[in-house]
Structure 1
Amino acid sequence: MLNTVVSRFGTFGIGIVLARVLGPEAFGTFAVALVALLAVLSFNELGVSLAIVRWRGDPVLIASTVNTISVAGSTAFFAAAFLLAPAFTRVMGDPEATGVVRLLILSVVINGAAATPAALLQRHFRERTRMAIDQTNVWVGAAISVALALLGAGAMSLAVGRLAGSLISAVMFVRASPLPYRFGLDRTRVGGLLRFGLPLAGTSLIVFLVGYADQLTAGAVLGTSALAFYVMAFNLSGWPVSLFSQPLRRVAPAAFATLQDDPVHLRAALLAIVGALAAVTVPLVAFLAAAAVPLVDLVYGTAWVPTAAALSWLVASAVCRVFYELAYDYLVVLGLSGTVFWIQASSLLALVPALLLGARFGGVAGLAGAQAAVSALVLLPLYLWRLRLTGVSLLGILSCTWQPMLAGGAAWLSGTALVGAGLPPLVSLALGGLVSAALSAALLLRRRDTLRMLQAIGRSDVSHGDVKESRPS
């Protein structure tokens, strides 16, 4: 948890500095490159690194083979992305971003090389080590980016900083790995690993398209500056939510896997995490939706105020995303990765036309509204339907979320009243933030027994060393 808190506040503060120094146009150019990078990272290691986490036996049996597949796949996809960069930037309306894309895409190879060590640390719940590595990545990259931005390097400053941070963190992952870093190819394992990983890689690509089709649409339809406003809103909507969801999502797959032979306790763990996530995210997100304009103006400056139009919608989408990503983790542990793929693919049929219409007729705000509508009315119901088929009670989900929803309504009303009261922006934001924090604290206090249960699961996993996982076949 501390790792995520420090990382998120660090990147938030760095983002403020860079946004004010660079402005929307340069930030939009980097956003084009970042979308390209994230697209390739969604499938570059062919999904096999998660097998390290889920492997029932000794991971030494597959680690070298996973390494080879991951690095080979990442290198091939890097080469393809490098060649396709000019075409991509033309479609996104910013051909000058080609150099930034090509530099940043080197991170794909680095990510592939570090995938196995990172998965081993996740398997062994080495959160303190992860914290040190993640913080090094954030702060080294940030220092380089800020220095170069102040020297006038523009969007390239962000790309260089991110690449440098990724390289240093990859070296640290390799050094911290519980197993020696080796390459190898056990032909008897390759088929099983690919059968396990490829559906996940395909699903991850679809998840990327679902999550970033809005940014692709913003760049292609509305232009680079609009993309900058939209990306800033997307980041601002997501960081407070992921601040609380990421610690649980790091532990959730292994915790679910530990309980996969005990369906009753497995479902109880899912509901416990859902309730905890709702308690900490819904009130905060509702307040952000109410206070979007003064928040953006105060934090980023007048040049970024158009961001607020998208932020009010995207906070709702961010909450939905947290819950269906948790459902994704749950279904994957049950061996239903193929089902997850079809849920995501089906949602694209509604998402793409909705985004195009929203952008065409409503600009940045219309685009964000379309994204929120599809998240809440299409994706989330599909995941709930699939969870119900696995035995998860929808009434159980409702019973652990109705109170956070009411608290969210109260946070939104208080935020709206404070913003409209004519108070200085800093005062209204501080008071509204305190109200939402108090509501979340009260909800968590009522759930202290379930929080203890989650802590017990984590301690049990750590004490047993390896996590009992289902074996890819």
Structure 2
Amino acid sequence: MTTQDEAPPKVRRALVLSLLNTVLGKFGGFFVSLLLARLLAPEDFGVFAVALVALQAVLSLNELGVSLAIVRWQGDPRTIAPTVTTISTVSSALLYAGCWFGAPAFAEAMGSPEAVGVLRLLCVSVLIDGVTATAVQLVNRAFRQGAQLAADLLNLVVTCGLTVTLALDGAGAWSLAWGQLAGNALSALMLLKLVDYWPRPGFDRRQARELLAFGLPLAAASFVVFAMLNVDYVVIGRLLDVTALGFYVVAFNLSSWPVNTFSVVMRRVSLAAFARVQDEVATRGEALTRLAVLLAVPTLPVCAALGVLALPAVTTLYGAKWATAAAVVQFLAILGVVRVFAELCYDFLVALGKSRVCLWLQVGWFLALAVALPVGALVDGIAGVAAMHALVAALVILPAFAWMVRRTGVSLRALGVALWRPVVGVVAMVVVMFGVRFVTEPSALQLFLGIGLGLLAYVPFVWRLRHVLRELR
């Protein structure tokens, strides 16, 4: 049995392995996406995006949220494991049946009838997710992140290797679907082997009622988050075309880099950090301020560089054929900043027991996008969609989160004072990068010269903040 003295090192080790998993996965996936962008056409990414939207929608509802009960169950979680396995497996089978029969209508509605086969193939991952849901949560409960890291690395290697091989062979969007499905399947088998848990169905009616009461609200909240994050794909697929969607997907992936690195890593610790000081108004405000500063230092310059140097960034990384995506990146860079800080505020509010407030903020975000994005698409295509995304985020969502944080007793003035160095520094960096843009043509030289000189202007402003990192450690 693990003692209290043994638990902290175990948790720290799990956190380190989890962070390593995130970094390797994000950077590995990013570099492979650069290679695929040079092998595939924009319409291939568009077709795959249609299938991916369907998969993410189903995964947000898959296993009805019951598997998370494994983590919080008082007592031996294996007593409820058979019931959890049965619910997750049956629900995933029913959802996949819906995917199979609904694929033609969904693909037609998204303006990409050719995506039907890719959608049906990719969504087989729903079945894999349902069968392995119990084992995954047993890993999380036991802090066995080493097993998860091994499985995810296998997933990355198989997915990337097969996708690139098939893309070189001219398989188009099918290469993306086959690669992801093969990676998911083999990594699932490895995880089951490593944790020595093979799915064993069973059913207890009393447990099922309790599990569904716990899981269904979580599944509903997960679906709201999915809708908020994918409404732009749906609008573009419906109102524009699959090629436009392909350009937008590449632009969104590039602009999400700060979220997928800085924010993901920070969220491994932010919720726990806020929870420890949730009853101390002054201390929790100080914790939020310090983590906000720590996030701002790397996030602001990266997003600024993506926004100001969007064209040379896109053409240097992905190739000249993707230049159309640059107009999208410059607006989505603003969205990236807002998403990073909105997620930090979200964790802060959840730690204080404001989960219902967070849900309503997400619902409001989705409704605002549902109104604004079609207008943007009709006015200026994918650039208009991105501009509306940035407008809603900066003028509606960020102020809304800031207002709710202020209502918890946190001083926004103190937060603003703490952030002045990275904010003023990034303004200086933007001025320098615009100067480089003015005297050079869009190219790799402009990109590296702009970033290099911009950082020389930025670093002096934030150099004195290095003590924040030491204090947080």
Q: Superposed, which structure 2 residues align to 1:178-197 within 5 Å? A: 182-185=200-203, 187-197=205-215
Are 1:38 and 2:59 matched, yes or no? no
Flag the 1:92–1:190 CA change in 2: closer, same or farther, 3 A.
same
Distance in 2 between residues matched to 1:379 and 1:414, nearest whole Å: 29
Look up the match of 2:248: 230
Give the aligned partner of residue 326 of structure 1. 344
Deviation at 1:43, TM superposition (A): 2.4
Task: Measure how far apart 1:152 and its partner are.
Answer: 1.3
Q: Which moved more, 1:230-239 or 1:318-327?
A: 318-327
CA distance in 2, matches of 1:400, 1:53: 37
1:79 lines up with 2:84 in the alignment: no
C-alpha separation in 2, matches of 1:192 and 1:298: 53
Residue matched to 2:313: 295
Q: Compute the displacement of 1:357 (Å).
A: 0.6
- Measure how far apart 1:259 and its partner are: 5.2
Worse-matched range after superposition: 33-42 or 429-438? 429-438
Bigger-Rg structure (1/2): 2
Change (3 A) 1:354 1:175: same
Structure 1 pair 18/62, CA: closer, same or farther in 2 (3 Å)?
A: same
Partner Cα distance (1:260, 1:85) in 2: 46
C-alpha spacing 1:278/1:50, structure 2 compared with 1 (3 Å): farther
- Whether the aligned pair in 1 keeps the contact of 2:88 and 2:130 (CA below 8 Å) is yes
Is 2:132–2:199's contact at 8 Å kept on the other side of the alignment? no
C-alpha RMSD of the superposition = 2.9
Q: Do the aligned partners of residues 384 and 364 (structure 1) sit closer, same or farther apart at CA in structure 2, a change above 3 Å counting? A: same
Q: Does 1:114 align with 2:125?
A: no
Kept in 1, the 8 Å contact 2:426–2:458? The answer is no
Corresponding residue number in structure 1 for 2:11: none
- Could you tell me which residue of structure 2 aligns to residue 272 of structure 1? 290
Note the C-alpha offset of 1:96: 0.9
Partners of 1:85 and 1:276 lie apart in 2 by 44
- The answer to whether residue 443 in structure 2 is matched with residue 429 in structure 1 is no
Q: Provide the rounded CA distance (Å) in 2 between the counterparts of 1:76 and 1:362.
A: 40
- What is the distance in 2 between the residues matched to 1:288 and 1:251? 27
Contact 2:58 2:126 in 1 (8 A): yes
Partner residue, 1:468: none
- Between the aligned partners of 1:65 and 1:331, the Cα distance in structure 2 is 32
Q: Does 1:394 align with 2:427?
A: no
Q: TM-score, normalised by structure 1?
A: 0.86
Question: For residue 16 of structure 2, what is the aligned residue in structure 1?
Answer: none
Match of 1:163? 181
Q: 1:93 aligns to what SS in structure 2? A: coil
Give the SS at the match of 1:306.
helix
Q: Distance in 1 between matches of 2:454 and 2:93?
A: 46
What's the CA shift string for 1:363-382, capped at 9, x where partnerless?
Answer: 11111001111122222222
Q: After the TM superposition, which parts of structure 1 deviate over 6 Å for at least 4 consecutive aligned residues?
A: 438-444
Q: 1:88 to 1:192 in 2, by over 3 A?
A: same
Whether the 8 Å CA contact 1:234–1:314 is kept in 2: the answer is yes
CA distance in 2, matches of 1:47, 1:388: 31
Structure 2: unaligned runs, 5 residues or longer: 1-18
What SS does the corresponding residue of 2:62 show, helix, strand or coil?
coil
Q: Does 1:406 align with 2:428?
A: no
How many residues of Structure 1 are paired with residues of Structure 2 in the alignment? Answer: 455
Change (3 A) 1:197 1:262: farther
Instruction: Give distance in 2, aligned partners of 1:385 and 1:376.
Output: 13
Query: What's the offset of the Cα at 1:164?
Result: 0.9
Unaligned runs of 5+ in 1: 456-473
Looking at structure 2, the residues matched to 133 and 171 of structure 1 have their Cα atoms a distance apart, in angstroms, of 8
After superposing the two structures, state which structure 1 stretch, 281-290 or 186-195, moved more: 186-195
Shift of 1:323: 2.2
Report the alpha carbon displacement of residue 51 of structure 1 after superposing the two structures with TM: 4.1
Q: Which amino acid aligns with 2:316?
A: L
Secondary structure at 1:152's aligned position in 2?
A: coil
CA distance in 2, matches of 1:51, 1:316: 37
Matched, 1:201 2:219: yes
Q: 1:21 to 1:386 in 2, by over 3 A?
A: same
Determine if contact 1:256/1:330 at 8 Å carries over to the other structure. yes
Matched residue SS, 1:369: helix
How far did 1:22 drift?
A: 1.3
| Map of 1:213 onto structure 2 | 231
Structure 1, residues 382-427: CA drift from partner, whole Å, max 9, x if none? Answer: 2223333334433343344333222332332222222332267223
Identical pairs, percent: 46
The correspondence for 1:382, drawn from 400, 403, 408, is 400
